[in-house]
Amino acid sequence: MTDRLPHEKGFHVSWDQLHRDARALAWRLQGQGPGEDGAWKAVVAITRGGMAPAMIIARELDIRMVDTISVKSYHHQTQSEPQVIKSPNADLVGDGEGVLVIDDLVDTGKTLEVVRKHMPKAHVATVYAKPMGKPQVNSYITEVSQDTWIFFPWDMALQYVKPYTGKDD
């Protein structure tokens, strides 16, 4: 996980922060769909990280049609392309027209490259974006540098920290 790449910095996101940033993304997407009133047809979450922001966005935009797509990345000695191992309902998403595809972040853009092939007309949105992956997203909220690892609230726990003086009392 964290040893996948040698990251210089860490960006730690709380549940509260994620909620606010996902809401900001929903605000940006509201009324931007291709429907007459700018409505979106469905939300597709990229599992698993996209599910929390997708739920928040579906709630804010009152979208009840929610599905998932699962992409598996293979990291063997010879790195092969990520593959879709679970597709959304084809009758619901079609070629992606009017569909909002949501993920927590884009890093290299490999995951979204595969998802875009599956739903070429979808609007792809992530909460966070790194520069390498930015060309793959239509909308995002916060950019972080490529050498930053983003820590999500579901991967963290509250813990004690020493005071700046280093003395514990």
Ligand X SMILES: O=P(O)(O)OC[C@H]1O[C@H](OP(=O)(O)OP(=O)(O)O)[C@H](O)[C@@H]1O
Catalytic residues: 103-104, 107
Is 2 marked as a binding-site residue? no
Region 121-150 residues binding ligand HPA, contact defined as CB under 6 A:
149-150
- The amino acid occupying position 169 is D
Nearer to ligand X, 12 or 48 (CB): 48
Is 107 marked as a binding-site residue? yes
Closest distance between ligand HPA and the C-beta of residue 35, in Å?
32
The dihedral through the CA atoms of 113, 117, 121, 123 has a sign that is negative
Q: Concatenated DSSP letters for 96-158?
A: STTEEEEEEEESSSHHHHHHHHHSTTPEEEEEEE-GGGGGG-SEEEEE--TTEEEEPGGG---
103 belongs to the binding site for ligand X (CB under 6 A)? yes
- Which residues contact ligand X (rule: CB under 6 A)? 46-49, 73, 103-111, 133
Known binding residues for xanthine: 107, 150
Known binding residues: 48-49, 103-111, 149-150
